[in-house]
A and B are shown apart, each in its own frame.
Chain A
Amino acid sequence: MIEFHLDTRSGVAPYLQLIQQVRQALRLGLLQEGDQLPTVKEVSGALAINPNTVLKAYRELEYEGLAAARPGIGTFVTKTLAGESLAAHEQLSADLLAWYRKARQAGLDGESIDAIYQQTIRSAVQEERV
């Protein structure tokens, strides 16, 4: 089971934040096919948000084919997004951690590390397109 959180200052609509968090959990393998999502009551009560907001997010996930509602029981994950790449996650995460430590040793602060990371990914994506 995952726990949702809301960033009220992000400007992203709450229902979209819920959808993004489910997608993210699916990509990271934290949620897998057959897992139950928290009930509408649980999410509304925990975050103090309108139940219709949660329903809207769950309906959207259903529409995308990522989840399905079983009436009277709850909403369940029907698809995983991580797929075969999941096996590689651990190694990739370890590599990134090693890189992060190197960057720290070189005296970079969090913001600089983030900047290099974003910049590198962006130019890599651009190269792929060309």
Chain B
Amino acid sequence: MTTAVEARGLGRQYGGRWALTDCSLTIPAGHVCGLVGPNGAGKTTLLNLATGMLAPTTGTISVLGGVPASGPEQLARVGYVAQDTPTYAGLSVADHLRFGAHMNPHWDAGLARKRIEQLKLDPKQKAGKLSGGQRAQLALTLALAKRPELLILDEPIASLDPLARREFLQTLMAATAEQELSVLMSSHLVADLERVTDYLVVLVGSRVQVAGEVDDLLASHHLLTGPVRDASALPAGVEVITESKTGRQSTYLVRSTAPISDPSWVADSIDLEDLVLAYMGGATAVRPTLASAR
């Protein structure tokens, strides 16, 4: 299996401020990888480094084994949908497809036409007159018709209504299955990513907090509740991610590859949102006991 994205000690500085520091990660190909983190965490910077629109200040990044934007062939292998799925407001849908055909050596005109028909878009319509959902679908169509091996999307669904979001993800998942794409998409809406991603990278404060296959991450994180005790009472080999205490109870979100067998702790599994929030915001992720008993 090849590697979609590999970064070693990657950093990028704007003026005096570091937007990304010491980022090392390996994202295998064949996954739909979610890149999540709060606003300003460095998600867009990382994606721009992967597309080659930015050059690293420190470290290295390789995409599908090549240097980002190092030549026409490398450019053809990576599709990119920028934040808010931009299109050219003054150009018609058909103009966009013609533009795509001119710019991309592996352009699949049949696929582009078929997708526009399925979406029931009028080829003569100016992109500026399309709804947000339609514009997003047009941008996605352009990126898919380019026939990339890796598709990078920056917050593609954040500004869409729930129906358009669903339709966008349906298109993306069907294309992922059909074209055997690797996908790297950023989002701060974890709930939307839950069903589509099988690989997760959490980026907070310009650093990678956790990265791995979603199934492995969920299996290795546990929510432990028990009587008030400090962390030294926890089973050996667990790593504490967050902790909170009330007068009577301690709650720890821990990472442990071994199952928790200590009977003095109640171990609950967590979902993707809990996991992301734990790495993003510390104790805010640990829900009150009542809510988790639902």
Contact surface of A with B, Cβ cutoff 8 Å:
6, 8, 11, 14, 39-42, 44-54
Contact = CB atoms under 8 A, between A and B. Distances in A.
B224 interface: no
Interface string B189-203: 000001111100000
A54 B195 CA distance: 11
Given A6-B195, A8-B195, A49 B173 contact: yes
A117 to B, nearest CB: 24
Given A40-B177, A41-B178, A52-B32, 6 more contacts: A42-B174, A45-B170, A48-B196, A50-B197, A50-B198, A52-B31
User: From DSSP, what is the main secondary structure of chain A's interface residues?
Assistant: helix
Interface string B169-196: 1111110111000000000000000111
A8 B166 CA distance: 14
Max count, chain A CB within 10 A of own CB: residue among B32, B171, B173, B195: B173
A44 B174 contact: yes
B198 A48 contact: no
B292 to A, nearest CB: 11
Max count, chain B CB within 10 A of own CB: residue among A11, A44, A46: A44
Contacts of A50: 32, 173, 176, 195-198
A45 B173 contact: yes
Max count, chain B CB within 10 A of own CB: residue among A39, A40, A42, A45: A45
Contacts of A41: 174, 177-178
Contacts of A14: 195
Nearest to A40: B177
B198 A44 contact: no
A-B residue pairs, 4 tightest by C-beta: A45-B174, A51-B177, A48-B169, A44-B173
Nearest to B30: A52
A48 B173 contact: yes
Interface residues of B, number: 19
B195 A51 contact: no
A111 to B, nearest CB: 18
Given A6-B195, A53-B198, A48 B166 contact: yes
A47 B166 CA distance: 9
A47 B173 CA distance: 9
A13 B195 CA distance: 10
Contacts of B197: 50
Nearest to A11: B271
16 contacts: A8-B195, A11-B271, A39-B177, A41-B178, A44-B174, A44-B176, A45-B174, A47-B170, A49-B173, A49-B196, A50-B176, A51-B177, A52-B31, A52-B198, A53-B195, A53-B198
Contacts of B169: 48
A42 B198 CA distance: 18
A84 B178 CA distance: 39
A40 B112 CA distance: 21
Nearest to B218: A13
A122 to B, nearest CB: 23
Contacts of B32: 50, 52
B174 A49 contact: no
A52 B215 CA distance: 11
Interface string B19-41: 00000000000111000000000
A42 B177 CA distance: 9
Nearest to B167: A48
B43 to A, nearest CB: 20
Nearest to A47: B195
B167 to A, nearest CB: 8
Contacts of B196: 48-50
B183 to A, nearest CB: 9
Given A41-B177, A41-B178, A52-B31, A46 B198 contact: no
